[in-house]
Amino acid sequence: MSHLGISRALAATMLAAVVLATLPAPAAAQGAGPFQYYSVTPCRVADTRTPSPGSPVGDQQIRTFVVQGVCGVPVGARAVSLNITALGPNGQGFLTAFPTGITRPVVSSLNFSAGEPALGNGALVPLADQSAHPSDLSIFARVAAAGGTVHIVIDVTGYFQ
């Protein structure tokens, strides 16, 4: 490399150092928040197909499930990371996951079309306090068809405490 090339490289390095020195320092990291996340080996909490033949969830029904104390999720967990899967719906619709004992939210956790063999989605869902409710997770099903039904599978992947 010629002296001119070295001088240009040195000048570019010095310019970069000056520019970086004038930038504000990055903000300090904030606290981790009120809850700590703990992963678990993916585990099936519920499957409405079992015991065989299971009972599908009907249109505009709410099915409740126990998550705390199952699959490595301790009693006292505040929320869970899970995968919700809709299997064999006979109409288009949606599933909404929410803590048992509260008014159902107006947002869906998973949308599906009629005839889809299986469709899943991940969700972070708060859990109800088990001292107030025998189950801690509710799933609302909307299946827009006469006699609409859908099977639901819930797999937990972690929890917040």
Domain limits for position 123 = 37-160
Least Cα distance to 138 among 64, 37, 70 occurs for 64
What is the per-residue burial (b if ≥16 Cβ within 10 Å, else e) of 90-105? bbbbbbbbbbbeeeee
* pLDDT at residue 89, rounded to an integer: 97
Whole-prediction pTM value? Answer: 0.78
Indicate whether 4 pLDDT > 80: no
Q: Does any domain span residue 123?
A: yes
In a 10 Å sphere around its CB, with 0-12 CB exposed, 13-18 middle and 19+ buried, how is residue 52 labelled? Answer: exposed
Q: Does any domain span residue 28?
A: no
CB atoms within 10 A of CB 48: 19
> In the structure encoding, which two tokens stand for residue 118, read together?
């299986």
Q: Does any domain span residue 1?
A: no
Q: Tell me: the pLDDT tens digits for 61-96?
A: 999 999 999 999 999 999 999 999 999 999 999 999
Q: Does any domain span residue 114?
A: yes
Q: Does any domain span residue 27?
A: no
Q: Does any domain span residue 22?
A: no
Angle CA(138)–CA(69)–CA(35) in degrees, nearest 5?
80
What percentage of the chain exceeds 90 in pLDDT? 73
Give the CATH number, domain containing residue 93: 2.60.120.260
* pLDDT at residue 21, rounded to an integer: 39
| Total count of domains within the chain | 1
The residue length of the chain stands at 161
Q: Tell me: the pLDDT tens digits for 38-67?
A: 999 999 999 999 988 889 999 999 999 999
Q: Does any domain span residue 73?
A: yes
Phi-psi region at 105: left, alpha or beta (left = phi > 0; alpha = psi -120 to 50): beta
